């Protein structure tokens, strides 16, 4: 019997931790599988996905910049992927790609279960309105936050996101330059890709409180700039996205295999090897 094939698709993916994570999940659950990283820059997501399926691929994680296109390529979307407008998890069933989104559930699990945060009634600032922000915003609202302010370089894209969320009472949009007029926040979520270039998005005069929680959806080097900014402002709790990565991977693993692995030993092992955050 052939070994099931899975992959992470996007660009860049050469440094992705997903193959290590899913190898550990497979070992833990006793499932034999192969999991590889496939870069989509050369031929695009659609062609890469078609080649992968032809070679026996059964499921894929999708990362930047292809999550919106992945939702468009899926023939059937889960309710949470449809609501987000992006998909980070694909599974081939009866020759048809099904799309799901586990980013939001992964973030909430990390913040609530691993970090011990009570998200209920938190006032949240989301930096960015792209695919990463789209993926997690619905889950934050479902977790009971009191308000979500989406700040983006261009106001129109921020409004596009809150329009999609359909919660006019709890969502507001602004530009990055307008953040200071929005008051104080309990949680700041850095959802832009700026950290991949070693820079921060422009945050004029944004002053978090010491008890404001800061989380970057990126992990590793891409999160260093925001983490440093948070610590420079006296923030006591600042996290990168490694925990979210492991949790969303476990949710995807469950979509594919019907069982959810124990994430804590895998997270602990990766944290030791990648550094603190």
- Annotated binding residue 112: no
- Annotated binding residue 156: yes
- Residue 12: asked if its preceding bond is cis (omega within 30°), the reply is yes
CB 29 within 8 A of CB 254: no
- Annotated binding residue 194: no
- Annotated binding residue 180: no
Among all chains, which residue has been given the structure tokens 């929680």? 213
Q: Are strands 76-77 and 96-100 parallel, antiparallel or unpaired?
A: parallel
Q: How long a stretch of residues is the chain? A: 277
- Annotated binding residue 248: yes
- Annotated binding residue 93: no
Report the chain's terminal Cα–Cα distance, integer Å: 41
CA atoms within 13 A on the CB side of 135: 34
- 8-state DSSP, 121: T
**DSSP string computed for 144-169:** T-SEEEEEESSHHHHHHHHHHHT-TT
- Annotated binding residue 30: no
- Exposure class string for 231-267: b at 16+ Cβ within 10 A, else e: eebebeebbbbbbbbbbbbbbbbebbbeeebebeebb
- Annotated binding residue 234: no
Give me the numbers of helices (H) and strands (E) for the chain, helices first please: 10, 12
Distance between CA 267 and CA 273 in Å, rounded?
A: 10
- Annotated binding residue 144: no
Show the CA angle centred on residue 104, arms to residues 207 and 239, nearest 5°: 40
- Annotated binding residue 17: yes
- Annotated binding residue 105: no
- Annotated binding residue 20: no
- Annotated binding residue 60: no
| Residue 14: Cβ within 10 Å count | 7
Hey, what are 180's tokens? 């200071």
- Annotated binding residue 218: no
- Annotated binding residue 190: no
Q: Which of these is catalytic: 25, 40, 48, 67? A: 67
Active site residue 67: yes
Catalytic residue list? 67
Q: Which residues are annotated as a binding site?
A: 16-18, 63, 88, 103, 128-132, 152-157, 217, 219, 241, 248
Q: Which residues are annotated as a binding site for NADP(+)?
A: 128-132, 152-157, 217, 241
Please enumerate, by residue number, every residue annotated as part of a binding site for shikimate: 16-18, 63, 88, 103, 219, 248
């Amino acid at each position: 019997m052939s070994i099931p094939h899975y992959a992470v698709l996007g660009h860049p993916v050469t440094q992705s931790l997903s193959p290590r994570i899913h190898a550990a999940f497979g070992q833990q659950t006793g499932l034999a599988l192969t999991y590889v990283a496939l870069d989509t820059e050369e031929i695009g997501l659609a062609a890469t996905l078609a080649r992968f399926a032809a070679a026996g691929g059964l499921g894929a994680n999708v990362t930047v910049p292809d999550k919106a296109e992945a939702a468009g390529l899926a023939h059937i979307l889960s309710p949470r992927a449809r609501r987000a407008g992006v998909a980070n998890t694909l599974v081939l069933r009866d020759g048809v790609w099904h799309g799901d989104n586990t980013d939001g559930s992964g973030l909430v699990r990390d913040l609530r279960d691993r970090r011990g945060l009570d998200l209920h009634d938190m006032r949240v600032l989301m930096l960015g309105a792209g695919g990463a922000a789209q993926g997690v915003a619905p889950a934050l609202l479902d977790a009971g936050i009191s308000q979500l302010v989406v700040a983006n370089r261009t106001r129109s894209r921020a409004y596009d996101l809150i329009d999609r969320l359909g919660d006019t009472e709890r969502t507001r949009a602004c530009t990055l330059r307008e953040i200071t007029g929005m008051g104080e926040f309990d949680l700041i979520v850095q959802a832009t890709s700026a950290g991949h270039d070693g820079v921060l998005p422009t945050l004029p005069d944004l002053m978090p409180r010491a008890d404001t929680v800061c989380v970057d959806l990126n992990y590793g080097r891409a999160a260093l700039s925001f983490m440093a900014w948070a610590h420079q402002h006296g923030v006591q709790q600042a996290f990168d996205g490694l925990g979210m990565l492991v949790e969303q991977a476990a949710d995807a693993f469950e979509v594919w295999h019907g069982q959810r692995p124990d994430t804590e030993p895998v997270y602990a092992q990766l944290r030791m090897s990648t550094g603190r955050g």
